[in-house]
C-alpha cells in the first residue's frame, strides 16, 4: 500500500457531488476537489456567434456558445425537465434550448427510464398535462409499469429507440412549437402501444382507473406481472373523443332468474346469457341479481301441554295393540 494520493477526474456539478461520486467508486476520503475550467470557444465558434448577432457572455465555454447558437430560435426548457436531467447526472450548458435538452436527456437515460419517459411524453401530449418532471409526477409508478413490460418486448424497444428526444415534444403535429421541430410519428409500434396502454390505465379524463380486484389485476398466478401489451396489436389506437361510443348497460342472466328487468328487455340484443354463472369468472360488467326469497321449510307439530302428550302416547299404544290383535287372528285362522 502506498501513501501516494490517487487523482481521478470526476464530472460533477459541485464538490459535494464529486465526493459522493468518488465514494460510489469505493474510494476512501480525504478528498481534495479542484475545479477544472471548461474549454474556451474556438475562433470559428465566436465568429458564428457574431454572425448570428449573439452576445457571448464573459467566461463562456465552447459548450455555452454552441448552446446559445442552437437555441437562438428555440424556446427555453421547462424547469421540470431541467431538474429531471440533473437528477440523472446529464450535463448541459445553462444556455441550452428546449429541443437540445430533450435530445440529450432522452439519449442518455437508461433503458427502463427511457421507456417510462416515452410513455410519459405520450400521456402529456394526449392529456395536455403541463408537468414535465417524470420523477415527481403523481402517476410515475404507472409509467414505470409500461417500462417493466416493454423490457421484454424487443420490437417495442427498437421502435422507442428510433425516436429522438425532440420527437417527444409533440406527436403528429408541431403546432405551438418552433418551425424546426419534428413531431413524433403516430403510426409506429411504440406510439400505438403507449397510447393503448394509456387507454387501459386511464379514463376519459386521463385520471388513473380504479384498481381492479386482485383476481382480475395484471398479476397472474405466479405473481409475475402480465404483459398487457401482448394483446395489443400495432393497428390498435386510442379512440378519439368524437368517435368514442357510449356502451349501454349489459345484464348477465342465469338459469335461476325468474324474471327479466325492464332495462334488459330494452337491450335484449345486448344480453349476455351464461348457463352457469357461479363457475364464470367475475366480469367487468354490472351484474343483475334478483332479491333472494326466504326458503320455506315444512313445520312439525309439537304438543303444547302434558295432556296432549299423554293423549298422543295412549293413541300410539292402542294402535300398536290393534295391529297385534289383527296379526294373532290371521295366524289362528291359518292354523285352523
Mean per-residue pLDDT, 115-123: 98
Q: If you ran DSSP here, which 8-state letter would residue 180 be given?
A: T
Closest CA to 153 of 186, 105, 187, 111: 111
Q: Are 117 and 168 in contact (CB under 8 A)?
A: yes
| Contacts with 184 (C-beta within 8 Å, 6 or more apart), sequence order | 121, 163, 167, 168, 169, 170, 171, 172, 191
Ramachandran assignment for 105, one of left (phi > 0), alpha (psi -120 to 50 degrees), beta (any other) = alpha
Range with top average pLDDT, 21-35, 162-176, 210-224, 314-328: 162-176
Grid cell for residue 284: 367487468
Q: Of the given ranges (38-47, 95-104, 118-127, 316-325), which has the lowest mean pLDDT?
A: 316-325
Q: If you ran DSSP here, which 8-state letter would residue 54 be given?
A: P
Mean per-residue pLDDT, 144-152: 96
Give the per-residue pLDDT at 22: 80
pLDDT in tens, 175-232: 889 989 999 999 999 999 999 999 999 999 999 997 543 333 443 433 444 444 554 4
Q: If you ran DSSP here, which 8-state letter would residue 272 be given?
A: E
Residue 249, pLDDT > 60, answer no
Give the per-residue pLDDT at 64: 93
Grid cell for residue 181: 421541430
Q: Are 121 and 160 in contact (CB under 8 A)?
A: no
| Contacts with 142 (C-beta within 8 Å, 6 or more apart), sequence order | 201, 202, 208
pTM of this structure: 0.59
φ and ψ at residue 202, rounded to 5 degrees: -125, 150
Amino acid at each position: 500500500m502506498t501513501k501516494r494520493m490517487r487523482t481521478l477526474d470526476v464530472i460533477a456539478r459541485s464538490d459535494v457531488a464529486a465526493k459522493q461520486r468518488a465514494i460510489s467508486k469505493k474510494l476512501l476520503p480525504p478528498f481534495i476537489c479542484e475545479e477544472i475550467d471548461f474549454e474556451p470557444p474556438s475562433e470559428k465558434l465566436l465568429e458564428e456567434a457574431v454572425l448570428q448577432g449573439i452576445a457571448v457572455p464573459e467566461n463562456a465555454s465552447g459548450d455555452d456558445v454552441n448552446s446559445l447558437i442552437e437555441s437562438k430560435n428555440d424556446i427555453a426548457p421547462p424547469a421540470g425537465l431541467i431538474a429531471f436531467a440533473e437528477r440523472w447526472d446529464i450535463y448541459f450548458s445553462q444556455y441550452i434550448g428546449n429541443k437540445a435538452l430533450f435530445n440529450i436527456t432522452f439519449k442518455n437515460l437508461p433503458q427502463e427510464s427511457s421507456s417510462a419517459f416515452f410513455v410519459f411524453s405520450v400521456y402529456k401530449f394526449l392529456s395536455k398535462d403541463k408537468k414535465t418532471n417524470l420523477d415527481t409526477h403523481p402517476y410515475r409508478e404507472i409509467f414505470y409499469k409500461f417500462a417493466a413490460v416493454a423490457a421484454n418486448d424487443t420490437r417495442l424497444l427498437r421502435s422507442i429507440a428510433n425516436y429522438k428526444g425532440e420527437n417527444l415534444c409533440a406527436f403528429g403535429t408541431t403546432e405551438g412549437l418552433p418551425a424546426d421541430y419534428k413531431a413524433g410519428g403516430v403510426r409506429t409500434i411504440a406510439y400505438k402501444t403507449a397510447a393503448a396502454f394509456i387507454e387501459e390505465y386511464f379514463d376519459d379524463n386521463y385520471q388513473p382507473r380504479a384498481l381492479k380486484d386482485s383476481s382480475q389485476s395484471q398479476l397472474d398466478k405466479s405473481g409475475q406481472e402480465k404483459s398487457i401489451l401482448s394483446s395489443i396489436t400495432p393497428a390498435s389506437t386510442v379512440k378519439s373523443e368524437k368517435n368514442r361510443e357510449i356502451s349501454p348497460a349489459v345484464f348477465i342472466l342465469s338459469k335461476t332468474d325468474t324474471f327479466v328487468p325492464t332495462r334488459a328487455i330494452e337491450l335484449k340484443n345486448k344480453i349476455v346469457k351464461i348457463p352457469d354463472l357461479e363457475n364464470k369468472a367475475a366480469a367487468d360488467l354490472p351484474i343483475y341479481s334478483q332479491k333472494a326469497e326466504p326458503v320455506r321449510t315444512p313445520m312439525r307439530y309439537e304438543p303444547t301441554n302434558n295432556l296432549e302428550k299423554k293423549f298422543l302416547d295412549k293413541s300410539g299404544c292402542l294402535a300398536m295393540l290393534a295391529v297385534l290383535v289383527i296379526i294373532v287372528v290371521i295366524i289362528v285362522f291359518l292354523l285352523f
